[in-house]
């Protein structure tokens, strides 16, 4: 289902073209005059293409396209982060499978997760709704109650938005803002060969929860408590805002810092590639990663799901997406101290799952000692 960034959405691309003013013939012409489709280029290929069109050459812009949030300067030592995400009916959610307040919660949560991954504190948000004229008013009101409830928990003020009509499906787009000290912001581009790869949060349960929502027979094989746990992880993800701020401010025994960080929206296998690519560009040296299967954390609920329903654990742990965990790098020398102090502060699980390398490959080291290349996760426009 969903995810948000400045034109990079992890699980969703944030450029929406309004075609309401075009005639049918003009729209047909626009669709057919160019042989290349989005499915040919892919979500991230298209983002790369438009990066050359859009202008972010502004002294106030610290970071534009290419991270979980855009970063703009407020003062010498303060910055604002900006992220946006859209959830579309029948693409990211089904209204008969998600409650209105759950949908509102998720709309804000996926944006707060982006802010958390930058190490910033959320401040404000605006909401845009596109709905058919026969949209259920009570359901829409429930969406806003869900947004408000989560906003109140994290001190976010909803300051406005927009509303428009759609032909058939409901779409909710939310833009969130946050703030941080400039030296506390964490980007995707600061991993180095030899660094440890860590994940804070639960992985795999969201993908299993989605499977139970789409397949009642699958859900029926599980204990009700387990099914509820998995579905909750998918429908009402918890943004790790406090954990993200803590990680951004962490200093090890010798002053070591967390390096690259992002939130897991498209699956670790896909999202870690962003870290490798951006870090390779910034460091001007190849950066890859080796993930150890034996170190991947698996919850009791996911283990029960896999036992009862079947399936490859790697598919859920690394490729299913919408976990909204925090994936980050840290110097290997400080991981024990970092994890011990994190455990003392939070109930959120944390694990070291791999090591960054100098050969650009993303590989999985299996329990049997073999290695295999790891395929990526979700891309909005490539489903084959």
| pLDDT tens per residue, range 159-197 | 999 999 999 999 999 999 999 999 999 999 999 999 999
Question: Is 80 exceeded by the pLDDT of residue 146?
Answer: yes
Strand ranges (E), 61-204? 61-63, 70-73, 78-88, 121-131, 157-165, 171-181, 196-200
Q: Indicate if the pLDDT at residue 377 is higher than 70.
A: no
In angstroms, the Cα distances linking 254 to 91, 182, 232, 312 are 47, 21, 40, 41
Mean pLDDT for all residues in the chain: 89
Mean pLDDT along residues 205-227: 97
Give CA angle at 275 (273, 277), nearest 5°.
65
Residue 142 in contact with residue 99, Cβ under 8 Å? yes
Give the residue, 23 or 89, on which the prediction is more confident. Answer: 89
Residue 12 pLDDT class (50, 70, 90 cuts)? very low
| Whether pLDDT at 228 is above 70 | yes
Cα 258 from Cα 180, distance rounded (Å): 16
The pLDDT of residue 11 is 42
Identify the pLDDT of residue 58.
82
Distance CA 354, CA 197 (A): 5
pLDDT number for residue 47: 66
Mean pLDDT of 74-96: 97
Other C-beta atoms closer than 10 Å to the C-beta of 188 total 29
Task: With beta carbons less than 8 A apart as the criterion, state whether 114 and 263 touch.
Answer: yes
Residue 379 pLDDT greater than 80, yes or no: no
- Is the per-residue pLDDT at 13 higher than 60? no
pLDDT of 132 > 50? The answer is: yes
Number of C-beta neighbours around residue 375 at 10 A: 14
Q: Percentage of the chain with pLDDT > 70?
A: 86
Angle, CA of 31, 85 and 212, to the nearest 5°: 95
Q: What is the pLDDT of residue 260?
A: 98
Ranges 35-39, 227-231, 361-365: which has the least confidence: 35-39
Digit-coded pLDDT (tens) for 270-284 = 999 999 999 999 989
Predicted local distance difference test score (pLDDT) of residue 381: 47
Provide the pLDDT for residue 59. 86
Whether 150 shows a pLDDT value over 80: the answer reads yes
Res 17: pLDDT:
33
> CB–CB of 6/175 below 8 Å?
no
Residue whose tokens read 């094989």: 221
Domains of the chain: 24-184 (3.30.1330.10), 196-373 (3.90.650.10)
pTM: 0.86
Paired tokens of 293? 């299967």
- Closest by alpha carbon to 102, among 141, 135, 137, 142? 142
- At 186 the pLDDT is 98
Report pLDDT digits (tens) over 314-352.
999 999 899 999 999 999 999 999 999 999 999 999 999
> pLDDT tens digits for 24-34?
444 445 455 55
**Per-residue pLDDT averaged across 57-79, rounded?**
91
């Amino acid at each position: 289902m969903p995810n948000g960034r400045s034109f990079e959405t992890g699980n969703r691309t944030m450029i929406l073209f309004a075609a309401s003013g075009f005639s049918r013939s003009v729209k047909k012409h626009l669709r057919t005059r160019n042989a290349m489709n989005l499915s040919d280029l892919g979500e991230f290929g298209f983002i790369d293409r438009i990066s050359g069109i859009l202008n972010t050459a502004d002294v106030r812009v610290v970071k534009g396209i290419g991270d979980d949030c855009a970063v703009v300067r407020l003062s010498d030592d303060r910055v604002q982060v900006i992220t946006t995400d859209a959830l579309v009916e029948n693409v990211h959610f089904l209204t008969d499978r998600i409650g209105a307040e759950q949908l509102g919660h998720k709309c804000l949560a996926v944006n707060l997760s982006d802010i958390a991954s930058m190490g910033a504190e959320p401040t404000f948000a605006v909401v845009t709704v596109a709905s058919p004229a026969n949209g259920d008013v009570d359901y829409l009101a429930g969406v806003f109650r869900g947004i408000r409830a989560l906003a109140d928990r994290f001190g976010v003020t909803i300051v406005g938005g927009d509303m428009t009509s759609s032909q058939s499906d409901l779409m909710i787009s939310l833009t969130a803002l946050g703030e941080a000290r400039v030296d506390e912001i964490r980007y995707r581009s600061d991993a180095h060969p030899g660094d440890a790869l860590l994940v804070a949060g639960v992985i795999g349960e969201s993908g299993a929860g989605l499977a139970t929502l789409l397949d009642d027979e699958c859900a029926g094989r599980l204990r009700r408590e387990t099914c509820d746990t998995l579905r909750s992880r998918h429908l009402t993800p918890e943004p790790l805002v406090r954990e993200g701020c803590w990680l951004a401010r962490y200093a090890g025994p010798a002053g070591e810092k967390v390096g690259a960080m992002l939130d897991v929206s498209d699956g670790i296998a896909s999202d870690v590639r962003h870290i490798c690519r951006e870090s390779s560009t910034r460091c001007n040296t190849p950066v890859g990663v080796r993930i150890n299967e034996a170190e991947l954390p698996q919850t009791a609920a996911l283990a029960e799901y896999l036992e009862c329903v079947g399936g490859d654990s790697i598919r859920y742990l690394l490729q299913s997406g919408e976990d909204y965990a925090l994936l980050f790098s840290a110097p290997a020398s400080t991981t024990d101290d970092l994890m011990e102090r994190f455990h003392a502060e939070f109930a959120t699980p944390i694990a070291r799952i791999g090591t960054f390398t100098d050969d650009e490959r993303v590989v999985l080291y299996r329990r049997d000692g073999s290695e295999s290349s790891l395929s990526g996760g979700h891309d909005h426009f490539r489903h084959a």
